[in-house]
Chain A
Amino acid sequence: AQSVTQLGSHVSVSEGALVLLRCNYSSSVPPYLFWYVQYPNQGLQLLLKYTTGATLVKGINGFEAEFKKSETSFHLTKPSAHMSDAAEYFCAVSLTGGGNKLTFGTGTQLKVEL
């Protein structure tokens, strides 16, 4: 079985500041890891994914994440927050051989202040 833990249900940053959203996973087999973003009353949009290969992955809107197997982490970062980044962010895991089904973390609400 797999699970995802997102530390901090709410994160607040100033515009222009570093964004760091934390995600740790538990998996019995090599995982595939994803970050999705959800704007109010909208669907889930893929930000980035890690499957194999390079552990630092870059996504849309300037976000990136690094897969660290030793720490079972997949934290999401962005060097400089923008007001438009305010949204809810979900980390998710699927398993190799698991048919693509995603298990989500509980989400982190990002607030960006002036």
Chain B
Amino acid sequence: AAGVIQSPRHLIKEKRETATLKCYPIPRHDTVYWYQQGPGQDPQFLISFYEKMQSDKGSIPDRFSAQQFSDYHSELNMSSLELGDSALYFCASSLGAWHSGANVLTFGAGSRLTVL
């Protein structure tokens, strides 16, 4: 079965550079979520999109932005990178309209960003 595809799997950047992560949800999933997992930390919710509109916002820095496109894939753009941005970034997708609840998030394998 098709899963959530994230690219790139690994990314190395210098401080103050920009990075873009991509996420391709499971076909027919209309909701995408981004999570950040620092070393030894639990995943922290950044932002989500439903039907190409931002549906919820968590602890996403102002230097980060994201969007969901017409084909439902999503991109997370990170600018002015800092050492503390080094983390594993997960994308997840789910079915279901906003407020439906109970739908399972399926996670991708993650994109590991290292900022030097």
Contact = CB atoms under 8 A, between A and B. Distances in A.
A56 to B, nearest CB: 18
Given A99-B48, A100-B96, A44 B43 contact: yes
Contact of B31 (A42, A100, A104, A106): A100
B101 A100 contact: yes
Most buried by A among B43, B50, B112: B43
Nearest to A9: B40
B69 interface: no
Interface stretch (A17-25, A64-72, A90-98): A90-98
- Say what secondary structure dominates the interface of chain B: loop
Contact of B104 (A41, A49, A98, A106): A49
Contacts of B90: 43-44
B42 A95 contact: no
B104 A46 contact: yes
B33 A101 contact: yes
Q: Place the interface of chain A in its size category.
A: 20 to 34
Contacts of B94: 100
B100 A100 contact: yes
Interface string B21-46: 00000000001010000000111110
B43 A104 contact: yes
Given A32-B101, A42-B110, 7 more contacts: A41-B112, A90-B42, A101-B33, A102-B33, A102-B43, A103-B45, A105-B42
Interface of B: 4, 31, 33, 41-45, 48, 50, 55-56, 58, 90, 92, 94, 96, 98-110, 112
